[in-house]
Amino acid sequence: MPRLISRTLAIGLLALLAACATAPKVAKNTSKTFTTVVVDAGHGGKDNGAYRRYGPPEKVVALDVAQRLDRNLRESELKTVMTRSTDVFIPLDQRVAIENSQKNAIFVSIHFNDSRRRGVHGFETYYHSGDSSELANRIQSKLMTIPHSMNRGVHTANFRVLRLAYYPAVLVECGFLSNRSEGNQARDAEYRELLSERIAEAIVEQRYGPGVYHASPQVAAAQPQPASTGQGPAPAAPHH
Ligand SMILES: [Zn+2]
């Protein structure tokens, strides 16, 4: 059968070459297998995002939540890549390029919302491909466990960073800066930590299942520490 095998190999190689040639169009459903999370802080530099004169612009609070999310994910033994870690302008195409250059990733973009109607408030999560829907719903559900949170739903959208992604990609709107209550919360570091915790928990659950996520030491330190034996089950995350 060697001839058959080599023929199969040749066809396989041709298929592979064809796949490589069209690689930018191939979506990969890594929603259960991802090893890297690309954390995208919305806006930056000359692009303030939502802006209210009584608080920091969206680019600042989005970066802070993204950095906290990045830390929480790394503590959960996931690899992370940030599209920006300082106040710089990154064009959308560059964000997509960073995202798509990873090997086995998902993409999570952090934003805050804005409305002319100051009463509008709540969380929204967006996705584009069906492969991203489960992750989007999971993040939204976890955000809804925050007391007094308002559910504005999970929606599909044609945002560039979602549409051009090879991998599952979601965009989270962490509340309205234009709303008095959510604007005040966004200015509170403890609340931003809570947002990042909930999003991290959703991502870890998406990858490893429920009950694996452990709150970061920063949050745990604020609570009474249990005796050294009561640590609960070890995370199922791989140790490399
Ligand atoms: Zn934004």
pLDDT (tens digit per residue) in 111-126: 999 999 999 999 999 9
Give 60 Cα–ligand 1 centroid separation in angstroms: 11
10 pLDDT tier (thresholds 50, 70, 90): low
CA distance 78 to 93: 25
pLDDT classification of 211: cutoffs 50, 70, 90: confident
Average pLDDT over residues 102-111: 97
Euclidean distance between the first and the last CA atom of the chain, given in angstroms as a whole number: 40
How high is the pLDDT of residue 239?
A: 38
Q: What is the pLDDT of residue 229?
A: 40
Three-class DSSP labels, 60-111: HHHHHHHHHHHHHHHHCCCEEEECCCCCCCCCHHHHHHHHHCCCCEEEEEEE
d(CA 184, CA 173): 16
pLDDT tier for residue 90 given thresholds of 50, 70 and 90? very high
- Whether residue 23 is predicted with pLDDT greater than 50 in this model: the reply is no
pLDDT confidence of residue 51: 86
Looking at residue 233, what is its pLDDT?
41
What is the Å distance from ligand 1's center to 44 Cα? 10
Report how far ligand 1's centroid is from the alpha carbon of 11 (Å): 46
Domains of the chain by start residue, with CATH: 26-207 (3.40.630.40)
Distance 15 CA to ligand 1 centre (A): 40
More confident residue, 26 or 193: 193
pLDDT in tens, 27-49: 899 999 999 999 999 999 999 99
What's the whole-number mean pLDDT along residues 200-223? 78
For 11, the 3-state DSSP assignment is helix
pLDDT tens digits, one per residue of 143-177: 999 999 999 999 999 999 999 999 999 999 999 99
Q: How many CA atoms lie within 13 A of 100 on its CB side?
A: 18
- Region 64-79 average pLDDT: 97
Q: For residue 78, how far is its CA from the centre of ligand 1 (angstroms)?
A: 25
Please give the distance, rounded to the nearest whole angstrom, from the Cα atom of residue 58 to the centre of ligand 1. 7
Q: What is the mean pLDDT of the chain?
A: 85
184-201 pLDDT, tens digit per residue, is: 999 999 999 999 999 999
Of 36-40, 52-56, 160-164, 210-214, which gets the smallest average pLDDT?
52-56
